[in-house]
Structure 1
Amino acid sequence: MRSDARLLLLDKDAVEALLLPDEALEAVREAFTLHSRREGRVFPVVREALRTGGVFGIKSGDVESQGLLGFKAAGFWPANRAVGGEPHQATILLFDPATGRPTCVIDGNAITTARTGAAGGIGLQQLARPGSSHACVFGTGVQAQVQLEFALRLMPALRHVRYVTWKGEPDSRFEARFASRCNIAHASDANEAVACSDIVITATPGAGPLFDAQAVRPGTHLNCVGADTRGKRELPEGLLQRVRLFVDDATQARQIGETQWCPDAPCEEIGDLLTGKVAALRQPQDITVFDMTGLALQDLTLARRIHQRALTTGAGASVPWAW
């Protein structure tokens, strides 16, 4: 038995210190490209409801050429809020593919947040009209915040933001976070906010349709984040039949994404836009949707970069791990 091996542990503080927004964008672009070229594998997703009221999932994959193998165990436990905890929980584990030995345990919450925000930003760059100036955001939680962060970062014309909350009340902390970067205000009428927007971002728990289909006007782009489990949805009935639909992974989107509600709808993978396999060729009247279910490769490519930087900088805690 080898007794000199060690396992690196990177907690939340270490990950957040090592994580850079630009690197998240690079890692997610890399993940989409690897997936498009089928140079990285995405294994079947586990996503199951628990009797405790939580949802538990595993996303895994590998990139043989990079010696990259791992998984993210993650889920959502809404009852955590009542005890002052974070409902989203995620842990990433990287392995040596030659031996199966674990090499790094990484807190996955910050990685999940950053890579999903970056994926949304790439979706906007590829699919939204470049001059888009008005956005509507559903939700004010962690994912709504990071989606808007990347939207403002990557869409220079975006200046006006309306947001919708499930309680129908303003969120002063959400407004304060973005007040210096855009004209932001609470919207009491979801349909009106959607109708006035070039970009719609849905980042809610996916409990049901958030607005009426007829509110979406021609030329709108929608980034949909909340449907990531069987039975979840944010879009209204009849909308997907009217749009050009893009997904991160076609099989996964039909199983757990917004596309589960219209599985026969033609769709294209966003990675194929990045590699030139398909062209967006957006017409002014097109309505586009990016159904984001999250790829294991996004987690793994970003985790690999953080792991490498941690080894260089000495971050984290290293513990003996005989094998």
Structure 2
Amino acid sequence: MRAEAPAARLRLLDGPTVAALLEPAAVRAAVAEAFALHSRGEGRTFPVVREQLAEGVFGIKSGAVPAQALLGYKSAGFWPANRGRGGEPHQATIVLHDPATGRPLCVLDGNAITSARTAAAGAIGLQRLARPGSRALCLFGTGVQARAHLAEALRVLPALEQVRYCTHRGQPDAAFESAFAGRCALQFAPDADTAVAASDVVITATPGAGVLFGLGAVRPGTHINAVGADTRGKRELPEGLLARARLVVDDRSQARQLGEAQWAPELPCTEIGALDDAARAPETITVFDLTGLALQDLAVARMVLASAEAQGLGLDIAWPW
């Protein structure tokens, strides 16, 4: 006789609920743990699905941490036509599973988690690789990711004063400037090379449609967080830059397939989870190539789920076997 299945529940967490539970320091801690688990081989990341569709890009990132009973995936992509519909082009959903049974435990809106965990990863890169006392930053992009990365940079770089930003249209973005009014000295930069040359830190957070600045603009000692290249064929950095830099990645194999490292896969690189605390040579150019790990999404989603359960948030529904 078949045993009677135990009662099962499924928690649903929508975007506003998730966003309210994403405390920046806690997100950074979860992402740092994910990087360490990954580099120690204690977390598994499964092959990435990344497919070009007629309407956009669709992908799946999945993984597990057996010792922590963590299993799940994020389906995500980019649908540019959503802007014309009044919606967000980036769409992401995260599902956490019980590894013992395969049953789903929670379905979460993944948009806010994606932005927060990517920006947290960038903040970790800034803390570990940017020169202490960095005062000037050049930001490419003014969208959701760019805003999240700038907000984190302002949190973790206490000496940061001047922010120059570049847009793909070559025009100022009034809404972006309003969002950061009073938080830093923010200035539109009409010439990308001039802005890069005047900066200690560069963050590229664009759709990765092409090279954003010239190789000669990068001064010794500059640190670059490269965010936009996350698919084959995408790039933001100029030819020859990686060969001049110390290259740090979130995942070696994935970066060489999808990130900036795809353009120079033969170059040596270090995973950020394995980065030692050795002093940074002041004249060294450093690049952190962020492609995004499933373990980042899952670690942050687990944190959000625990907070939601503790506070009684979300929609808890029966999910029969």
Give matches, 1:1-323, under 5 Å: 2=5, 4-52=7-55, 54-273=56-275, 278-323=276-321
| Residues 41/179 of structure 1: CA separation in 2 closer, same or farther (3 Å cut) | same
1:4, distance to aligned residue in structure 2 (A):
2.2
| Secondary structure, aligned partner of 2:248 | strand
3-state SS, counterpart of residue 73 of structure 1: strand
Structure 1 residue matching 2:28: 3-state secondary structure: helix
Shift of 1:279: 4.4
Structure 1: stretches of 5+ with no match in the other structure: none
TM-score (norm 1): 0.97
C-alpha distance in 1, partners of 2:59/2:278? 32
Gaps of 5+ in 2: none
Aligned partners of 1:127 and 1:280 also within 8 Å: no
Classify 1:26/1:179 alpha carbon distance in 2 versus 1 (closer, same or farther; 3 Å).
Answer: same
TM-score, length of structure 2 as denominator length: 0.97
CA-CA distance at 1:3 after TM superposition: 6.4
Q: CA deviation at 1:177?
A: 1.7
Q: Which amino acid aligns with 1:37?
A: R
- What amino acid maps onto 2:218 in structure 1? V
The answer to whether the 8 Å contact 1:28/1:302 transfers is yes
Number of corresponding residues: 318
In the TM superposition, residue 281 of structure 1 has moved relative to its aligned partner by 3.3
Give aligned-pair identity as a percent: 65
CA RMSD of aligned residues (A): 1.0
What are the Cα deviations for residues 85-118 of structure 1, in whole angstroms up to 9, with x where unaligned? Answer: 1000000000000000001000000000000010
| SS of 2:60 mapped into structure 1 | strand
Q: How many Å separate the matches in 1 of 2:271 and 2:99?
A: 27
Give the Cα–Cα distance (whole angstroms) in 1 for the partners of residues 263 and 64 of structure 2.
29
Secondary structure at the aligned position of 1:226 is classed as coil
2 CA distance for matches of 1:146 and 1:26? Answer: 16
Letter in 1 for 2:304: I
Aligned mates of 1:182, 1:320 — CA distance in 2: 48
